[in-house]
Structure 1
Amino acid sequence: MPARLFRVSPLWLQPSVRFSSLSCSLNSAHSPDPSRETLFVNRRCYSSYKIAIVGSGPAGCYSAKYLKSSFEKQEHRAQIDVIERLPTPFGLVRYGVAPDHSEVKNVQNDFAALFEGTDESVESVNVRFLGNVEVGWDVTVTELRSMYDIVLLAYGCESDRKLVLPGSHLPQILSAREFVAWYNGHPDFVHVGEQVSKALQVTAADTVESVRNAHVVVIGHGNVALDCARILAKGCQNLHDTDIASHTFPVIGGGISHISVIGRRGPIQGAFTIKEIRELVRLQKEGYGTSFHVSPQELKLGMNEASIQEMEGLAGRPKQRICDLLLKAAASESQTSECEKRVDLRFLLKPLRFETKDDDPSRLSAVICEKTALRGEPGCQKAIGTGEYESLYADLVLVSIGYKGTALPDVEPFFDEEMGILRNRNGKVDQSNDFECGLYVAGWLKRGPSGIIGTNIPDAKDTVASIMRDLLDTKPRVQRAGDIDSILAERKIQVVGWEDYKRLDDYEQTHKRSDNQPREKVVSIKQQLEAALKSG
């Protein structure tokens, strides 16, 4: 198995550290497993299935939700185990959604209801949370397939699409994924703060209120890119009552003075939504001391005849609204107002290389870009270089050109390396039918990193429909190669069940920096486990 970052082999840890008291979260390893057989209750037959879902983010939770409702409608008894690498559930809802988008994070209340009130009665469909269990390390996919009737992979995208340019190795160039995970308190990315601090040249004299006099270039025109720009512009002082990680305060301070968001094509081709644009436009009006700038000339060049055709019809209305908002912002007098901070949204700029400082080849100096022009048919336009160049000064670069999925051990034969997804048909993994257990996929690992959290609803329903169709002709397995509880206990894996997580949740909510803050995230896995598994 591949080495895993920031986690230690379970064989090296003491039983007191890795061994979980499974009494409140897991079934006894020695008790008979009633889900292995068909049960007769009140003279009615209830088929008993065991389902493993790998990943507890939106894709995994929505899949569990619709599987549960489908089994209940068909009067099947089932156990659905949602297996998560971290001690905390909810994936990108906790570690990806911007801290100032609290209304988006509220979806976790819906997800939490899945795990509440587990009923061990014969007629129930139970959904369990098994946290701090890393599939591919603590237990393999092959082992899961020998223990469950269905294994559904929904662990998302754990890598990025790379921008390979001269100078891209510099430590001042980070992926937006890393940066977002850092400010959201992901335990695996705490170290990113040191890189950001060095890039921005933060000193002891810089306070948490002071604006950092630095230039940041964000490459990409998606919502993640705009989220990064907005968080950098607002600064931590203005995010005090959110769940942004406290370790960001001494680094970002009162915000960054110069932020540029650049992309190769025009406003019609941008992947951002109007909400994110509107939030940038309103930064000054809402008192964040940040002006928003967009070039009327770049907007004009980006709205060629082919782009205008792309806005025609119902599908083009959202793009039309975005363009109208940008045109209004470009003509606004607020662009000339004096603010301590500014955000520039740039179009038709293609990064070519990263230059270093003359006196220090290890430090980033600028992003060299070529201006582009759009050529091609509507919906197929490409950004063609014009031979005109522009240099953007930069202390820090965040690359936001897309996330990318990776393959767990044992699923490489079904993985499309170029697309970063598992090959599938309506969620059923292609060419995986030679195994007794069905293998399925949902979320970004199924369709690629696109859409919003709500996009996972129809995606999950599609996969669940495939599962239920297949189960029409499949009986629950009479014999299984062991069960997850006993295997994890044997390997001394410290499993975090739902009641354990609720103790961590209570701890975070009682250690807030302000009464209005939803929680103060614990950013160390060791401390998460201590809070979750404390007795009494």
Structure 2
Amino acid sequence: MSSLGSPDRPLRVAIVGAGPSGFFAAGALLKAKEMTISVDLFDKLPTPFGLVRFGVAPDHPSIRKVLKAFDVTANGPNFRFFGNVAFGDDVTLEELRRHYDQVLLTTGAASDRKLGIDGEDLPGSYSATEFVSWYNGHPDFADRTFDLSVRDVVVVGVGNVAMDVARILAKSPDELVGTDIAQHALDALKASKVENITILSRRGPAQAKFTNPEVKEFGELAIADPVVDAADLELDPISAASLDESKTTRRNVEILKEFSERGAGNKARKVHFRFLYSPVELLGDGAVRQVKIVRNVLEDTDGTLDAVPTDVFETLDCGLILRSVGYKGVALPDVPYNARKGTIPNSEGRVHDNDGVAVAGLYVAGWAKRGPSGVIGTNKTCAVETVNHMLADAVLACAAPNPAPTGIVELLQAKGVRFVSYQDWQKLDAHELAQGEAAGRPRLKLTSVEAMLALL
């Protein structure tokens, strides 16, 4: 009998989730020199790449350069992609464990955190994730409608996702037509009547999570001016000290100061940055019409500045509100889950139950492992940490009872699952690029699973 990890009996690994973490992990596994490994990567959508395809802003294509490395991994030996296979519905954890020696979960953080205020469920109130998925052509969100006939939009949060949605709303059609933004979103944005976009930050400018390029870009838009009140840039002593500790923070505040010195400008749209404000209630009869906000002050709690509400309130007109205040994972069938953290409990990627008992052969990486933090590249370090433990554990792995590569194919076929290979994806990719070229755009995304499968 061949030993596990030999050329005759490779270590068989299933990865669930074909986003950056899944691909980084696959690449690290396949580069392992100490053993032969085969990787099968599963995703519920026919398209790979997860947030690189559906989360990265269409006007920031340089971030997608990582796809070249993912493509090299996918076209290498001992790798297979199984798209259009939903974990839990089309294939269960038990079934994967019958066919693979190890299972790695890289399912991300698919749910968003809510504001927890009255009126949040009114029509016109959405997560930024929904809006991002809509304009990026995610099949689950392509049919959504967002009322862009309104004059006033509020974005809650000052992370890079909040910056993305505010910027897309502020841009002119001419600035977007050269991107791969979904056609339905481009058409809707062409008809937009939005004039005011207000970004709310519960803390001050020195605590903002956006990066320098993200905020600087608001000063370079064709039809929108950034508006900042100089009074909002007055810093408490701890915030002022943080400028010396962080070059990014210092530059953020400098950029905002430059905006404040410009004045309101004469462009058709305005992007208002409001610091030290939190929404406390959404108001409206049948739909959002206004948002009540409270002025905060920063209080020092053991060196951490917390936003504490005052008794000063204000009401803003608002026909659309997009929240971007955090994300969390969702519970997966038969997989341990920490509801408080929104993650899969683990020790450096080795999954354990909520009592700390290890689940042999089950691993996690990415946001499902550590929570929604960092940028795309952060997931590489995270994935490699998990992979190193997988390699160390391989000598102790319980060999799968049915490791033949044909086994999972036969199982899915018997269930009537129409899975999509990486070669199938390449056909879809070529189609999108060709359609885009014909339309004078870089790509025209397919936005329904049915349309994708019909082309294969």
Q: Same fold (TM over 0.5)?
A: yes
Q: Does 1:216 align with 2:153?
A: yes
- Tell me, which stretches of 5 or more residues in structure 1 are unaligned? 1-35, 119-125, 202-212
Residue 517 of structure 1 deviates from its aligned partner by 2.6
Letter in 2 for 1:375: E
1:48–1:77 CA contact under 8 A, matched in 2: yes
Match of 1:365 among 289, 294, 300: 289
Q: 1:261 to 1:45 in 2, by over 3 A?
A: closer
Taking the aligned partners of 1:85 and 1:495, their CA distance within structure 2 comes to 9
Aligned alpha-carbon RMSD (Å): 2.1
**Residue of structure 2 in register with 1:299 after alignment:** 233
- Tell me, which stretches of 5 or more residues in structure 2 are unaligned? none
Letter in 2 for 1:353: E
Residue 117 of structure 1 deviates from its aligned partner by 4.4
TM-score, normalised to structure 1, is 0.80
Deviation by residue 1:44-67 (Cα, 9 ceiling, x = unmatched): 876521000001100100011111
Q: Helix, strand or coil for the counterpart of 1:133?
A: coil
Taking the aligned partners of 2:183 and 2:364, their CA distance within structure 1 comes to 35
Match of 1:326 among 249, 252, 256: 256
Q: 1:166 to 1:474 in 2, by over 3 A?
A: closer
**Residue of structure 1 in register with 2:164 after alignment:** 227
Q: Helix, strand or coil for the counterpart of 2:435?
A: coil
Taking the aligned partners of 1:190 and 1:478, their CA distance within structure 2 comes to 41
Residue 39 of structure 1 deviates from its aligned partner by 8.5
Q: Helix, strand or coil for the counterpart of 2:140?
A: helix
Taking the aligned partners of 1:336 and 1:215, their CA distance within structure 2 comes to 16
1:58–1:453 CA contact under 8 A, matched in 2: yes
Taking the aligned partners of 1:379 and 1:492, their CA distance within structure 2 comes to 58
Deviation by residue 1:247-288 (Cα, 9 ceiling, x = unmatched): 0133221653110110110112112111110111222xxxx1
1:373–1:385 CA contact under 8 A, matched in 2: yes
Q: Helix, strand or coil for the counterpart of 1:38?
A: coil
Match of 2:369 among 427, 446, 457: 446
Taking the aligned partners of 2:4 and 2:45, their CA distance within structure 1 comes to 34
Match of 2:442 among 518, 530, 534: 518
Taking the aligned partners of 1:270 and 1:423, their CA distance within structure 2 comes to 29
2:288–2:320 CA contact under 8 A, matched in 1: yes
Taking the aligned partners of 2:64 and 2:398, their CA distance within structure 1 comes to 38
**Residue of structure 2 in register with 1:169 after alignment:** 121
Match of 1:496 among 420, 424, 441: 420
Residue 384 of structure 1 deviates from its aligned partner by 1.2
Residue 127 of structure 1 deviates from its aligned partner by 1.2
Q: 1:418 to 1:486 in 2, by over 3 A?
A: same
2:111–2:329 CA contact under 8 A, matched in 1: yes
* Correspondence list, 1:115-134, <5 A: 115-118=74-77, 126-134=78-86
**Residue of structure 1 in register with 2:60 after alignment:** 101
Letter in 2 for 1:307: S
Q: 1:182 to 1:379 in 2, by over 3 A?
A: farther
Number of residues paired by the alignment?
A: 452
1:268–1:310 CA contact under 8 A, matched in 2: yes
Taking the aligned partners of 2:281 and 2:166, their CA distance within structure 1 comes to 21
TM-score, normalised to structure 2, is 0.94
Match of 1:426 among 348, 353, 365: 348
Deviation by residue 1:480-512 (Cα, 9 ceiling, x = unmatched): 599311110111110100111111111111111
Q: 1:166 to 1:45 in 2, by over 3 A?
A: closer
Stretch of structure 1 that moved more, 510-519 or 439-448: 510-519
Stretch of structure 1 that moved more, 241-250 or 175-184: 241-250
Q: 1:266 to 1:378 in 2, by over 3 A?
A: farther
Taking the aligned partners of 2:367 and 2:402, their CA distance within structure 1 comes to 33
* Correspondence list, 1:230-379, <5 A: 230-253=167-190, 256-283=194-221, 288-300=222-234, 303-313=235-245, 316-332=246-262, 335-356=263-284, 361-377=285-301, 379=303
Q: Does 1:68 align with 2:30?
A: yes
Q: Helix, strand or coil for the counterpart of 1:151?
A: strand
Q: Helix, strand or coil for the counterpart of 1:53?
A: strand
- The structure number with the bigger radius of gyration is 1
Stretch of structure 1 that moved more, 145-154 or 466-475: 466-475
* Correspondence list, 1:386-405, <5 A: 386-405=310-329
Taking the aligned partners of 1:479 and 1:496, their CA distance within structure 2 comes to 22
Q: Helix, strand or coil for the counterpart of 2:304?
A: coil
Q: Does 1:200 align with 2:148?
A: yes
Taking the aligned partners of 2:132 and 2:96, their CA distance within structure 1 comes to 31
Q: 1:516 to 1:249 in 2, by over 3 A?
A: closer
1:237–1:254 CA contact under 8 A, matched in 2: no
Taking the aligned partners of 2:200 and 2:60, their CA distance within structure 1 comes to 23
Match of 1:57 among 15, 19, 23: 19
Q: Does 1:464 align with 2:387?
A: yes
Q: Helix, strand or coil for the counterpart of 1:291?
A: strand
Taking the aligned partners of 1:424 and 1:309, their CA distance within structure 2 comes to 36
Q: 1:39 to 1:230 in 2, by over 3 A?
A: closer
Deviation by residue 1:449-480 (Cα, 9 ceiling, x = unmatched): 11111111111111111111212444744655
2:29–2:37 CA contact under 8 A, matched in 1: no
